[in-house]
Structure formats: C-alpha cells, structure tokens
Amino acid sequence: MFHSRLVVWLLGFVVAAGAGFGSFYHLYSPPGEEDPEGEACTDGDCRKPDESLSLPGSERAYLWDIEHGGNLLVAHGFGPLTAALRQADAPALLALCGEDFRGQTLRAPREVAWRSDWLNVVRQMDGGQPPLPLDRGQFVERLLDYRRCFATEPKVKLSLMKLSPVRRQDLDGPWQGTCQLRLWGEKAPGQPAEVIAYLSYQVPRPTRQRLDQGGWLTTCAIEQSQTGHARSFLSREVAAERGINVAALHDNWKGGPEHIFTGGVYLCDFDRDGILDVLITDLNGNFLYKGLPDGRFRDVTEEMGLPRRCPIPPDRPYAAAFIDIDGDGWEDLILYRSVYRNEGGQRFTNVTARCKLGLPEEAVGFAVADYDRDGRPDVYVVLKGTARWDGFLGDKGGMGNHLWRNKGNWEFEDVTEMAGAGGGQRSAFTAVWLDANNDGWPDLYVPNEFGNGVLLINQGNGTFKEHSLTPGPSDYATMGVTAGDVDNDGNIDLYLANMYSKAGKRVFGNLRPDTYPPGVMTQLRTFVEGSQLHRNKGNLEFEQKGKEWQVADCGWPHGAALIDLDNDDWLDLHATAGFMSRDRTKPDG
Amino acid sequence: MRSRGIPPPGQLDPSLNEFWVSNPWETVEEGHNLSAYERGRTWLNVRGKDFLDISYLSGADDDGDGRCVVAGDFRNNGRLDVVVRKSGGGPLQLYENNFPQRHYLKVTLRGTRSNRQGIGARLVAVVNGQQLVREMYPQNSHRSQMPNIVHFGLGDHDHAERLTIRWPSGEEQVLTDVGGDRHIVVEEGKQGTAAIETVVPGQTIRP
C-alpha cells in the first residue's frame, strides 16, 4: 500500500472534483519545506513522503491549462450552441461548425428500448457498423431532430466530459473531447420528454477569441442517443400535502449552520394496523409519523413516548433501527443510544438500562438479521470513521464495526471478534445482509468509504469468512449499498453507490499513464469510476455491470434502492445524488 | 489535512468564476460548491438485460443534495412510493408513484420457530413460469430502513402460481395459486390456505 501524503492529496483532488464545470482543480507538490506538517505524525505510522510520487510543476500547469480551456469551451462555445439549439436556430448552429466540418452518427445502431402507451424510451448505441458520415447541414438536422421532440422550447444543457489536446502536450494543436447533450421539456402539455446524447468532437485550442469567431466545431460524432417521453410524469412530490412537517426538518439551503449529513428515514408498521408508518430522524429532532388510511400521516412522536430530541452532538445525526428484540411480534426501536420496547403498538418504553447492547455515539447505522438462525434477530452496528491521511488508500479509515448477538431477555453479546465480523477497519455508513451464496445463511456486505468493501460469508457455525467481490480495487467512496436480484436468476446482486466525478475522470485521463506505479493508477481510477452493479453469477462470483448497464454515473450518491417501481417484476433502481450545493451561479467544485 | 498555502498552477479567470483551494476539504469549508446540483436518478430495469435512465420522466430527479432513499406502499394500492432525504434543497421528499397500476403481492411473515418477522427468509414466487427471488431483510442502504415486507410485482398476472418460503428455521413452505393484489401474512408451520391471512388496512395484524 502506498502511504505518501502526496498521493493522498492527489486522491483528495480527484475525490473532490465534482461533476460540474470543473472550473478548478488542485494538485499538490510533495510536502517539503512548504509543509510544516511533514513531521507531525502522531499515529505511530509515519512515513517520509515518497519523492517518486511527486507531480512536476510542468505537469500541473498542463492539467491546469486543459481545465481552463474547458471552462472557455463551456462558456463561449457550448453556451452559444445550447442557446441556438434551444431556439431551433439552424443558421446559428451551422455557423458554429467549421468550414471542413465532418460529422458522423450511428449506422444500424443497437437499441435498448421500452415501448408502451405510458412510456417510450429508446436508447441507440454502437451496433458495430461503420459510422454514417454527416456533412454540416446533415449534422445540424440531426440536432434539430432532437429539438423537434418538444412542442415548446426545451431546456438544453451541454456538459463537458473528457477533454485533452489530440497530441499530448501540444496545447496549440487540435483538442478532442466528449460531452453529454441533454434536452428536456414537453412533447405536449403535461407530457414530459427528454433527449440524452453523448457526443465526441474535435475543436481548435479553445480561446475566447477563437470561439467568438464561430466555426470552431471541427468534427462531431453522435456516439449514443436516447429519446423518451411519458404520458405524464411518473411520480409527484407530496410530502407536505400528506401531512409531513417538512419545514421542521433541517435544510442547508435555508441558511443557518450547514451540515454535511442529515438524519434518516425508517419504515415500519409499528402499530401493526396494516398501514406503513415512518420514523424520521433529523438534526432538529425525531418525528414518528403514523400512517393513516388515506395516505396521510400524523405526528405521534410524543404520544408514543419517544423523545422529540436526542442529546446528539452537533454534526452527528444518529442512527435508528426497528428490531423485534423480544420476539413478541411488536417491533422495538433502537434510537441513537437508547432502546425502546414496543408495547403492543400503544407506546414505546425506554428499556435501555435492562438491554445490554453496545450503542456508541459513533454508530451511523444498524443492520438487522438473525445471523445464527436461533430465532432471535441480531444487530450489526456500523461505526463511521474519520478521514485519516492514510485511510484514503486502504481499509483503515473506520473504527471497526460490531456484531451483537441477541441472547434473549434483552441481552446481547458482542461476538465481533469471535465471529470475525468486524469488516476490518473500513469506514462505512451501513452494511447489508443478504444470502450471497444461496446456502440459507445470512451473509453481510460491508462497504468502505475509502476502498474496497468486503463480503462476509456466514460459515454457519457462528463465524464469517472474508470474500472480495473483485480481485483488485473496484469501489471507492461507497456511501450506500442495496441488494436484490436484478436479473431474476436467483442470485442476489449488489448495487454500490460510489462517488462519480466527470471532472475527476477528465483530469485523471490527462495524467501521463506512468505518472504513478500501476497499483496506484488502478486505485486512482476507481476513485472516479462511479457506482457499481455487482451481478451475482452464483458460486460467489460477481461480474461488474455498472458501466455496461449505464448505472454508474450518479454524481456523488449516498443512498440507493432496488425497487420494482412499475410492478413488472424486474427491480428498478433509484439513487440519490449531490454533496454540497451552495450557489447556482457559481461553478461546481 | 490543513491548508498549506499552495499557490494555483495558473492564472485564475474571474469571468469564468474560476476558484482555487489548496486543500480539497476547503471547498466545503470555504463555501464553494462540491458535486453540486446533482439530480436524483431513476433507472428502469429492462427485463434484466439493461437499464434505461428515466430520471427526468420519473419526476423524481430533484437536484438537491440527496442522502438516503427508501420506498413503501403507503396507500396500500400496491405501488411503491419513494421517500428521499436530503441535507439541502428540501429535506424530505415523498414521491407518489404514478406508474400504471399493475398486479402485485405484498408478503409479511409470522415466524413461529424462526424469528418473528422471518428476517432472513427467502421467498420465491413463480409468476407465469418466471421465478422471482426476494429476501426478507429490512435493508439499510444508508441511514435508513426498509420495512419487513416483501414486494412482488406481478405485471399482467393476478396471482402467483407458487410461493415458496424458505424459513430461517430450515422449514420450506410451499403455497400454490396465491391470489395477488393484496397484502398477506404467511405463518410458518401452517399448510395451504390456512397459512395465509389477508391484511385489512385499519385492522390489527395479529403479532
């Protein structure tokens, strides 16, 4: 493992580079005289910074020039293009194409399609045939075809993806890149429509002067396109309408102190009336909502004996879980560091004192399962670590998780060590139970915020054995996990919500391939690859389908859920995204 | 990881709003955007062969700073509504599922030898010859919990030809011809129709 602080900074950069305009980046020189911290290791694991991993100033300047060129291209090239397309201005679009413009599109594309009376989506990809050439006029017609999907002026966005000079280091020669073109709006009143296309292109070196002249698009190829429309939007936001007091919950965008994390949402029919209830934890308090027959909710927090507030430290939204500890059929509740017994759905009573269960302040998640199949549900307590400088490259960012075995009579014992279930010292937000090898014993996937997660295979005798989903580095910055059988082959698959960064990928792609030793380069690459779908083939073999099925690019995701939204018996996927948004007028970091 | 005053490697262009921080963590501390205004994503599973991005068409592609997500049938109409928590841009969203109505089956378990909720049970439904495998786990994908209810979408078929439950106790329970479009409770150890109760919302489900 490489422990250079320099590499940490570089990784920190690619981790931090968001998916926006990529208007900034930072690379670091090796700590030397500039670095007063160079000697200040206190963890007994000090290493002298490795000089071989430094990035020369000329390399840093090169990467900076590319990013700056990208900013210019976006502001003064893409900007006019999207405006012209929005307005269906054919002459303006033609004027952006160079005199000797060469375009191309897919010939006999391969399709993935959904055709029904309520939803039509067709994605066209490379079918293996040589591309169809397009001249300037034909290319503009293709763009206008996209525009014609909309009855009124759509929104249009062109997002920069890859960008580099065609000949490495030759900044004044031609540049090449890729981008995503999105148009969204209405096909008819109330009927949403969208186009998503991926383009590759060549341009001269982007400068303000050259772009303002027009005719800067030298070549452009349509690599993939997707058009879609629906009878109406497939969902509608109704939280406040249904009686949830959304205004009472913390929102960074409403001013006041900002917090990276917020509380959670826990679903359970705690009063067993056949209507689902919702527990919301938040920096501003706890909210237990009882579900009502018409789909509305009523706040019953205090009525049910739960505290409106837990004594949490700032910036540490705590964890909760419903779990029927005493097996009486009424699901009890772990809430931060307290345990509440569910008294027949009428009240929650605090039984923390009699319940021997280790609930540290640092717990961020609980995962419930009966791992030893003795008839009593057990609980895996996940502790989030703090970012250590050597934790970016491995499995030492966490504090170690704990497996607590339910002995009955409200007693738990910590069997972590005996079971081998700590999951290393990975920093994680959650862990997910699943039967990964179909042997009837619950296995556990522990993700890792700073590297590969691990699948703990239940040996059926109270112990677990570690198994890796992939032979080498794969996932990075895994913030969330969901499991389900996505291809209905009888094996449970895993979807990992990993960080994804367009800018990070772009800059990483512009590093010289031999900038770092191969092991480091591979690991760096995983930092910005995005979410991954590990398809379970059986026999504990997994294949990675995230890129092929195009479910990898999701900004900076935290949560994900495999749910059958359309009830067609195939599990669909929803993922949340976004880290910290401050100002729409400012570019993304 | 404190800032060490490393200067930018090039000229900053204010007209492009370029900015520089010597330490990635300062991005957040100094009030810049970081992975900002990312849209929540919805991908439709195309018969297990691929996924299609329907984020915009779903109406659930809000660009706030999303965190956890769960789903549940709050209206008992068989359609899963999605609940999203965010740290910014609207702290909680409940997306009412307006996909077309299709057949479904929801299953709650009552363990007798196994743990009461049947956590860890594997349920296999056969619907028009197709096997669907689901597991009973109250999954925590990120600061969240799904309910102890297994949800089967049945598509155009109003029943499951067979529903097999492999309980944590080891018992394998087989039910045939299980009518859909309802929420059922299945009790371990019982046979045939005696094993199944239909949930009536508003009436207490025997624990």
DSSP state, residue A580 = B
For residue A503, the chain B residue with the least C-alpha distance is B35
For residue B42, the chain A residue with the least C-alpha distance is A574
Instruction: Tell me how close the Cα of A133 comes to any Cα of chain B, in angstroms.
Output: 27
Chain segment A131-185, per-residue pLDDT in tens: 999 999 999 999 999 999 999 999 999 999 999 999 988 999 999 999 999 999 9
pLDDT at res. B185: 98
Cβ contact A23–B130 (<8 Å): no
Cβ contact B34–A57 (<8 Å): no
User: What is d(CA A234, CA A574) in angstroms, rounded to the nearest whole number?
Assistant: 13
Of B17, B42, B48, which is closest to A487 when you measure between CB atoms? B48
CA dihedral (A135, A137, A138, A141) in degrees, to 10, reads 150
Tens of pLDDT along chain A (589 residues)?
A: 333 333 344 444 444 433 222 222 333 333 333 333 333 334 343 434 444 445 678 888 888 899 999 999 999 999 999 999 999 999 999 999 999 999 999 999 999 999 999 999 999 999 999 999 999 999 999 999 999 999 999 999 999 999 999 998 899 999 999 999 999 999 999 999 999 999 999 999 999 999 999 999 999 999 999 999 999 999 999 999 999 999 999 998 887 777 778 889 999 999 999 999 999 999 889 999 999 999 999 999 999 999 998 877 655 668 899 999 999 999 999 999 999 999 999 999 999 999 989 888 888 899 999 999 999 999 999 987 655 434 344 445 556 899 999 999 999 999 999 988 887 666 677 899 999 999 999 999 998 777 788 999 999 999 999 999 988 766 666 788 999 999 999 999 999 988 766 666 777 777 777 777 777 777 666 666 788 999 999 999 999 999 999 998 776 778 899 999 999 999 999 998 877 777 776 655 4
Residue B20 CA: distances (Å) to CA of A57, A346, A587, B116: 16, 56, 12, 56
- What's at A205, amino acid-wise? R
Instruction: Tell me how close the Cα of A107 comes to any Cα of chain B, in angstroms.
Output: 21
pLDDT at res. A398: 59
Chain B residues with beta carbon closer than 8 angstroms to that of A209: none
> Do B147 and B72 contact (CB within 8 A), yes or no?
yes
Selected for mutation to probe chain A from B2, B84, B92 (highest A CB count within 10 Å) is B92
Q: List the one residue out of A180, A168, A198, A222 whose CA is nearest residue A59.
A: A168
User: What is d(CA B145, CA A366) in angstroms, rounded to the nearest whole number?
Assistant: 9
ipTM of the assembly?
0.92
Q: List the one residue out of B108, B102, B104 whose CA is nearest residue B200.
A: B108
Cβ contact B207–A549 (<8 Å): no
pLDDT at res. B100: 97
Chain B residues with beta carbon closer than 8 angstroms to that of A226: 52-53
How do beta strands A432-434 and A443-446 pair? antiparallel
Cβ contact A64–B8 (<8 Å): yes
Chain A residues with beta carbon closer than 8 angstroms to that of B155: 567-569
User: What is d(CA A207, CA A212) in angstroms, rounded to the nearest whole number?
Assistant: 8
pTM, whole model, 2 decimals?
A: 0.89
> Do B181 and B133 contact (CB within 8 A), yes or no?
no
Question: Tokens 């996924």, residue?
Answer: B51
pLDDT at res. B7: 66
Of A233, A568, A576, which is closest to B69 when you measure between CB atoms? A576
User: What is d(CA A176, CA A200) in angstroms, rounded to the nearest whole number?
Assistant: 7
Of B50, B141, B204, which is closest to A112 when you measure between CB atoms? B50
User: What is d(CA A108, CA B87) in angstroms, rounded to the nearest whole number?
Assistant: 45
Cβ contact B122–A65 (<8 Å): no
Of B31, B94, B143, which is closest to A244 when you measure between CB atoms? B94
User: What is d(CA A431, CA A448) in angstroms, rounded to the nearest whole number?
Assistant: 10
For residue A322, the chain B residue with the least C-alpha distance is B145
Cβ contact B145–A322 (<8 Å): yes
For residue A59, the chain B residue with the least C-alpha distance is B9
Residues 6 or more apart whose CB falls under 8 angstroms from that of A158 comprise A74, A78, A81, A82, A179, A180, A181, A182
Cβ contact B21–A26 (<8 Å): yes
Selected for mutation to probe chain B from A265, A371, A388, A489 (highest B CB count within 10 Å) is A265
Cβ contact A581–B89 (<8 Å): yes
Chain A residues with beta carbon closer than 8 angstroms to that of B37: 20, 578, 581, 584, 588
Cβ contact B59–A233 (<8 Å): yes
